[in-house]
Amino acid sequence: MRMAGGVGAASDVGVNHADGRAGGIDGAGRAGGVDGAGRAGGVDGAVRDATGVFVGFARTLAAAGLAVGPGRTAAFLAAIRALDAANPRDVYWAGRCTMAAEPDDLPVYDAVFAAYFSGRTRSALRPRQRTLQTTVPLPARDDEAARDTDAGDQGETPIVRARASVKESLWRRDMARLTAEERAELAAMIALLRPGLPTRRSRRRRAWRQGAIDRRRTMRAMLVAGGEPGRPAHQRAGRRPRRVVLLIDVSGSMAPYADPLLRFAHVLIRHRPRATEAFTIGTRLSRVTRALAQRDPDQALQGASAVIPDFSGGTRLGEVLKAFNDRWGQRGTAHGAVVVIFSDGWERGSCDLLAEQVARLQRLARSVVWVNPHKGRDGYLPVQSGIVAALPHVDHFVAGHSLATLEELLEVIRGA
């Protein structure tokens, strides 16, 4: 549901789209739940009318991005029936515990509740729409694209050869300096990366031909043999995927890399959906794991950009890493994980805070990998204040400006 909302929203028909979809659920009811004229004061109307109002509320929440489908709507209606539908407090809690699913949903729920039941539906949806309008595509670099087509017109090299050389050079080229066409090709090549990701020992033991005695299987075999002792069965610890956490800087200075890096994250998430987490960092922390979990890379990227409010903004790495550590890292997301930070280290905030937070992250995580696309450039020296502060607390410092370096990065992650 959330996915559908996100994608529809990205094509700036979010609200109407939700209406159309909802209309299918009960076409006869109050059509256009979200457009809702004259909705105020509906709480204590006739029963059927009230149901329409509540269903409209659920649809409004879905349009605002909550994962509300028919199942949750039905649960909401059942909860209201068990309580007092005329009491706003009961309606509030009935809706909150049936239709919100995580702490991030709560502010949205509160805003929609306040707006919907005071008849100001449109303003409740406006923040979401504003977010959508900021989902600008990555800078198209028209100048380069134009230059390239000019060159193409003049060129007389055979097409086949040209394409082969493109692929070869793409492998080592800086991802920020590509034409639109090359970027499309790069995207296709990223989708072909086959990550082999790290594993760790699991507590669950598996049958094996040697190792510790497996008491249960030995007993079972004895039981089958009528109690006669036989050969002991053995077991060993199994392997589980180790968690990988990707923190991708999407601030202005990293903007040209954001698209390929998000695609890279998409490949990893699709490969290990349960053991990979992706966040974008900039001026704010946004979790994009859920958006990037879709199969189609372009839809996944569209979904991700819908949840990133700070594309091409400034950088406050220290504060954002602190937010990550507080809200996710310390609770367990970073425990024993391989944490990969993609950033050029431009820090507008305090570098002391950044150093402190990277150090904290290193204590929580198994290893911290810092990927700096600029490291691949000739004559690069790690002199940006942020990098200088963070480097002492980083286990691996690698480049990440080209496909070749991304492949090397996969190697580092695997061994970390």
Using CB under 8 A as the criterion, which residues of the chain lie in contact with another protein when the complex forms? 67, 69, 71-72, 75, 78-79, 82-84, 89-90, 93-94, 96-98, 100-103, 106, 202-204, 215-216, 219-220, 222-223, 226-227, 274, 289-290, 328, 330-333, 335, 360
* CB 215 to another protein: min, Å: 8
Q: Which is nearer to another protein, 100 or 369 (CB)?
A: 100
DSSP string, 97-160: HHH--STTHHHHHHHHHHHHTTT-HHHHHHHHHHHHHT-PPPP--HHHHHHHHHHHHH--S-HH
Using CA atoms, how far apart are residues 26 and 52, in angstroms rounded to an integer? 10
* CB 159 to another protein: min, Å: 47
Identify the residue whose tokens are 């800086």: 174
For the chain, what's the residue count?
Answer: 416
* CB 239 to another protein: min, Å: 12
Using CA atoms, how far apart are residues 210 and 55, in angstroms rounded to an integer? 60
* CB 354 to another protein: min, Å: 16
Q: Which is nearer to another protein, 177 or 204 (CB)?
A: 204
Q: Which is nearer to another protein, 82 or 192 (CB)?
A: 82
Give me the amino acid identity at 89.
Answer: R
Number of other CB atoms surrounding residue 200 within 10 Å: 15
Backbone angles phi and psi of 249, in degrees to 5: -75, 120
* CB 93 to another protein: min, Å: 4
Q: Which is nearer to another protein, 227 or 379 (CB)?
A: 227
Strands 286-287 and 338-342: unpaired
* CB 218 to another protein: min, Å: 9
Using CA atoms, how far apart are residues 340 and 397, in angstroms rounded to an integer? 10
Q: Which is nearer to another protein, 203 or 295 (CB)?
A: 203
Using CA atoms, how far apart are residues 272 and 338, in angstroms rounded to an integer? 14
User: Which residues neighbour 196 within 8 Å (Cβ) at sequence distance 6 or greater?
Assistant: 410, 414
Using CA atoms, how far apart are residues 355 and 357, in angstroms rounded to an integer? 6
Using CA atoms, how far apart are residues 89 and 84, in angstroms rounded to an integer? 9
Q: Which is nearer to another protein, 193 or 221 (CB)?
A: 221
Number of other CB atoms surrounding residue 384 within 10 Å: 18
Using CA atoms, how far apart are residues 156 and 167, in angstroms rounded to an integer? 19
Number of other CB atoms surrounding residue 109 within 10 Å: 19
- Going by the DSSP 8-state scheme, the letter that residue 141 receives in this structure is -
* CB 178 to another protein: min, Å: 34
Type and span of the H or E element at 307: helix 297-307
Would you state the structure tokens that stand for residue 70, as one six-digit string? 């028919």
Backbone angles phi and psi of 208, in degrees to 5: -150, 165
User: Which residues neighbour 115 within 8 Å (Cβ) at sequence distance 6 or greater?
Assistant: 121, 123, 124, 125
Q: Which is nearer to another protein, 136 or 224 (CB)?
A: 224
Q: Which is nearer to another protein, 90 or 408 (CB)?
A: 90
* CB 396 to another protein: min, Å: 24
Q: Which is nearer to another protein, 102 or 411 (CB)?
A: 102
Please tell me whether residue 400 adopts helix, strand or coil conformation. Answer: coil
* CB 54 to another protein: min, Å: 15
Q: Which is nearer to another protein, 162 or 224 (CB)?
A: 224
* CB 372 to another protein: min, Å: 28
